[in-house]
Amino acid sequence: MRRKGPTTPAHSPELSYRVFEIVSPCPPTSLGRLLPDGYTLALGAERLVERSYLDTHDWRLWTAGASLISETAEGVTSLVWRPPHAGAVTVPRWSLPRLAADLPEGAVRRELHPLIGERALLVHGSVLVHQRAGGIRNACHKIVIRAWWERGQCLDARGHPTGRPLTSLRVEGVLGYEGAWRALVASLEAAPFLQTPAETELQRAAGARGRAPGDYSSRLDIQLTPEMPAAEATRLILRRLLHMASANLAGTVEDVDPEFLHDLRVAVRRARSALGQLAGCYDEIRHAPLREELRWLGGITGACRDLDVFLADLRGYQGELGSDTGEWLAPLVEEVARQRTEQHAALRAALTSARLRRALGLWRRLTEPPRRPARAPEAQRPAGEVGAERVQRAYQRLRRHARRLPVPAPPEGLHRLRIDAKKLRYLLEFFASLWGRRGAALIRHLKELQDALGVFNDLAVQQRRLAEILQALLARGEVAVPTALAAGRLAALLEERQTVQRSAIAERLEAFFARQIRAEVASLGDSGEEV
């Protein structure tokens, strides 16, 4: 999926990259006959290349229209980066990167990092390719189009060739030679034995591993209908959340990157929230064991996630506070990292336990189509009606709690608001497919409030954690005076920021309870009355 975007200077919008499948036997050299007069095809010697497609678990590069490919030939690996809106960059002799930080300083890291953040790069598909690389030269012997003749076969997850081998000609335009590109592509498109492959190489390679581009996203995207019984809507919500939790389990156990645990935890929290807020829509007795298991899952994932967040924040503050203070914070960072390793070991044990397997089995059974209609009091009510009603109820609760807050608002009160806002957000997301743009706009407004509440809460948690870590180190006599002073400076900074954040929350609360938003929330239901 390539998206058209603004043109950046080093890339001509006309230039692109095309792959033609060679559908009848044809030696590579005979391809030269297809070229317009004045052009010659020159290909190098054949070599064996293992090409792998790298992306994050949630396909951030593919979603952005970018790709990162590693090519290994004769034991040497090179990377090819194709950003969404600029020309390709080849990084020769570079090992497989795990994170954006493992890439060389320069264009590749600069363009890739904003797309993937701290997510790990994983191999989503590999192809074994017999390749002859070269180019099409003009009369001055200048390469005006890069070209590769290839015969490739996808590799399965165990590295074994699988599926039909595909012979192809890949061509890529060179900046400043758009005329040659147009003439060449026209010639190749007219050739009877060349055709555009039905699937991209990435699709075939990912398919050989049982994956497909975009097959996992942390977006909920649950397709509901307004008339659907509420029990069925609840089942579909729980099914999607089970898929999300399962998709992040292995990555959390293997500790690939912190986002696996984040997404797993969010899926569990959303499921708990769904069961809590859609009470009456499902069989409470049947679901009671799942509620208990979700509570357990929420508990075991909490400590490690908190430490992940605190570790990332501390590292950020190290950079922010300048080299001296930052360096003196290093013992704190090490202590948090040590605690995090301990917590992850405990988490791994829990996630590979029989209890976890039983919990997932239970979750799965509850998401299978029921043999008979659910008998809960509101199970057969239309999903559209129930969804609107629960959203309105959650909105009113948030508003009520916000009104009761004293000035200045205490941290506990703001924490409660944050939880209320989160529950409302989950409900809006569960039923988003019913409300289209209206729902999306409400989520956008709510997100602004949540961001302010979230930052305030993070700052409160960070201060508490900082004190705990410092105390732990002091008890062991492992704190140097400058480290304690640096921690003091950081604590003061956090408190100062919290004060600033408090006024931002007040502004956003006012905006979120404005007449227009209240009317929007009311319009989700049938009554149309302002809530």
Residues 266 and 28: their CA atoms lie apart, in Å, by: 52
Is the CB of 64 or the CB of 304 nearer to another protein?
64
Q: Which of 57, 68, 87, 213 binds another protein (CB under 8 A)?
A: 87
Beta carbon of residue 105, minimum distance to another protein (angstroms, whole number): 8
Residues 76 and 222: their CA atoms lie apart, in Å, by: 44
**With the CA atoms of 418, 422, 425 and 426 taken in that order, what torsion angle do they form, in degrees rounded to the nearest 10?**
-170
User: Is residue 108 involved in binding another protein (CB under 8 A)?
Assistant: yes
Is the CB of 110 or the CB of 295 nearer to another protein?
110
User: Is residue 88 involved in binding another protein (CB under 8 A)?
Assistant: yes
User: Is residue 8 involved in binding another protein (CB under 8 A)?
Assistant: yes
Binding region for another protein (CB under 8 A) out of 68-76, 103-111, 267-275, 452-460: 103-111
| CB 169, CB 27: distance < 8 Å | no
Q: Which of 106, 299, 373, 410 binds another protein (CB under 8 A)?
A: 106
Residues in region 49-68 near another protein by CB under 8 A: 60, 64
Beta carbon of residue 257, minimum distance to another protein (angstroms, whole number): 16
Beta carbon of residue 493, minimum distance to another protein (angstroms, whole number): 25
Residues 286 and 362: their CA atoms lie apart, in Å, by: 10
Query: Treating both helix axes as pointing N-terminal to C-terminal, what angle do 330-351 and 354-367 enclose, rounded to 10 degrees?
Result: 70
Binding region for another protein (CB under 8 A) out of 100-108, 192-200, 253-261, 370-378: 100-108
In this structure, what token pair is assigned to residue 210?
């049982």
Beta carbon of residue 35, minimum distance to another protein (angstroms, whole number): 17
Is the CB of 113 or the CB of 381 nearer to another protein?
113
User: Is residue 405 involved in binding another protein (CB under 8 A)?
Assistant: no
Q: Which of 26, 46, 99, 113 binds another protein (CB under 8 A)?
A: 113
Binding region for another protein (CB under 8 A) out of 85-93, 188-196, 377-385, 506-514: 85-93
Q: Is 94 in a helix, a strand, or coil?
A: coil
Residues 42 and 476: their CA atoms lie apart, in Å, by: 70
Distances (CA, A) of 155 to 61, 97, 129: 21, 20, 10
User: Is residue 43 involved in binding another protein (CB under 8 A)?
Assistant: no
Is the CB of 326 or the CB of 331 nearer to another protein?
326
Residues 213 and 67: their CA atoms lie apart, in Å, by: 11
Residues in region 122-181 near another protein by CB under 8 A: 135, 140-143, 174-177
Nearest to 252 by CA among 239, 240, 264: 264
* C-alpha 215: how far from chain center: 11
Number of other CB atoms surrounding residue 188 within 10 Å: 17
Beta carbon of residue 100, minimum distance to another protein (angstroms, whole number): 11
3-state secondary structure 202-269: HHHHHHCCCCCCCCCCCCCCCCCCCCCEHHHHHHHHHHHHHHHHHHCHHHHHCCCCHHHHHHHHHHHH
Q: Which of 110, 182, 219, 355 binds another protein (CB under 8 A)?
A: 110
| CB 461, CB 306: distance < 8 Å | yes
Beta carbon of residue 189, minimum distance to another protein (angstroms, whole number): 22
The site string for another protein over 231-270 (x = CB under 8 A, - otherwise) reads: ----------------------------------------
Beta carbon of residue 431, minimum distance to another protein (angstroms, whole number): 27
User: Is residue 104 involved in binding another protein (CB under 8 A)?
Assistant: yes
Residues 164 and 152: their CA atoms lie apart, in Å, by: 9
| 168, β-bridge pairs | 21, 150
Is the CB of 132 or the CB of 239 nearer to another protein?
132
User: Is residue 205 involved in binding another protein (CB under 8 A)?
Assistant: no
Residues near another protein, by CB under 8 A: 8-10, 60, 64, 79, 85-92, 94, 104, 106-108, 110-111, 113-115, 117, 135, 140-143, 174-177
